[in-house]
């Protein structure tokens, strides 16, 4: 019995200690009234972008007290571009014409779990070039989307296109709820895999390319270009699905490509 009590007390003590080490976390957010135009997200290392039926762009983050710089209280973080941290967690939000910019302005951003809620009518443009990238999640977005990043793993959930997504070192996972017939869809990773799920009724002219990898799929592509049939010439498959439709291109230069139809 004594051993049991000691065990419970020790666990309780450990939990209390961990909690006090982390300090309390508080949600901070910055709102901008805007429902059309373009949202440009620049150099955010780890972010979830979520479409919603609203009229404000809401940038929020969970900030731990321990991460706040006591010495900098009452001061604003600045960067070489002259931008201020007007969110309180190392991100500048500013508007130029019909474009709203959300830019991480310091490497030592005190932000975590950054979420950006975007009204559904806005185009989204994400760019990132440094080495600190982690995850980039885009959810519930049906407006035009453009992503250019070197290191992010990109995860797209409940999207429809049109879109152009390019990452050098990261993978791309995309789940389409439906496939827009506007514009085109282009998903390209240089060094990592690309895994795409589409609804079974999607109409598209598809190009699947894996020059140094393989293409796996459970959809019946009506192949139009049979190439030379040689395994060592790399894999590029061109054809149509469900009679053809939007231009849909999936490519991984050095890894595999997966294209699935949802059940």
Interface residues with other proteins (CB under 8 A)? 129, 144, 146, 148, 150, 161-169, 182-186, 188, 190-191, 203, 205, 207, 211, 224-225, 240, 243-247, 249, 253
Q: Minimum CB separation from other proteins for residue 174, in Å? A: 14
| Smallest distance, other proteins to C-beta of residue 184, A | 4
- The residue among 54 and 234 lying less far from other proteins, judged by its C-beta, is 234
Min dist CB 178 to other proteins, Å, is 16
Q: Is 223 helix (H, G, I), strand (E, B) or coil?
A: strand
Neighbour count for residue 197 (Cβ, 10 Å):
17
Of the candidates 213, 156, 219, 60, the residue with the CA atom closest to the CA atom of residue 164 = 156
As a whole number of Å, the end-to-end CA separation of the chain is 54
Q: Of 62 and 168, which CB lies nearer to other proteins in the complex structure?
A: 168
* Nearest distance, CB of residue 217 and other proteins, angstroms: 20
- Radius of gyration of the chain measured on its C-alpha atoms: 22
- Minimum CB separation of residue 60 from other proteins in Å reads 27
Question: Which 3 state secondary structure label does DSSP give 5?
Answer: helix
Q: How far is the CB of 234 from other proteins (least distance, A)?
A: 10
Residue 86 or 181 having the CB closest to other proteins = 181
111 versus 163: smaller Cβ distance to other proteins: 163
Minimum CB distance to other proteins smaller for 184 or for 197:
184
Measured distance CA(14)–CA(207) in Å, rounded: 55
Cβ neighbours of residue 20 closer than 8 Å, sequence gap 6 or more? none
DSSP 211: T
Instruction: Please choose, from the candidates 241, 239, 234, 237, the residue with its C-alpha nearest in 3D space to the C-alpha of residue 255.
Output: 234
Closest C-alpha among 200, 169, 221 to residue 236: 221
Residue 102 or 165: which CB sits closer to other proteins? 165
CA distance 37 to 99: 6
User: Could you tell me the sign of the dihedral formed by the alpha carbons of 48, 53, 56, 61, in that order?
Assistant: negative
């Amino acid at each position: 019995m004594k051993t049991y009590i000691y065990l419970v007390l020790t666990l309780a003590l450990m939990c209390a200690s961990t909690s006090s080490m982390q300090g309390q976390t508080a949600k901070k957010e910055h709102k901008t009234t805007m429902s059309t135009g373009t949202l440009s997200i620049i150099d955010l290392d780890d972010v979830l972008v979520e479409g919603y039926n609203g009229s404000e762009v809401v940038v929020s983050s969970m900030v731990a007290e321990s991460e706040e710089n006591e010495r900098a209280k009452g001061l604003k973080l600045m960067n070489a571009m002259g931008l201020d941290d007007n969110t309180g967690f190392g991100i500048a939000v500013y508007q130029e014409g019909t474009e709203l910019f959300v830019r991480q302005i310091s490497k030592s951003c005190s932000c975590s779990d950054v979420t950006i809620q975007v009204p559904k009518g806005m185009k989204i443009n994400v760019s990132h070039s440094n080495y600190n990238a982690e995850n980039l999640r885009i959810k519930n977005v049906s407006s035009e989307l453009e992503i250019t990043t070197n290191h992010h793993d990109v995860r797209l959930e409940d999207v429809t296109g049109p879109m152009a997504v390019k990452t050098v070192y990261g993978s791309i996972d995309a789940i389409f709820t439906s496939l827009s017939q506007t514009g085109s869809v282009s998903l390209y990773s240089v060094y990592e895999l690309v895994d795409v799920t589409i609804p079974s009724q999607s109409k598209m002219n598809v190009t699947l390319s894996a020059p140094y990898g393989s293409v796996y799929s459970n959809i019946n592509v009506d192949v139009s270009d049979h190439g030379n049939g040689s395994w060592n010439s790399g894999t590029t498959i061109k054809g149509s699905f469900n009679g053809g439709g939007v231009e849909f291109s999936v490519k991984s230069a050095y890894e595999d490509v997966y294209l699935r139809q949802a059940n």
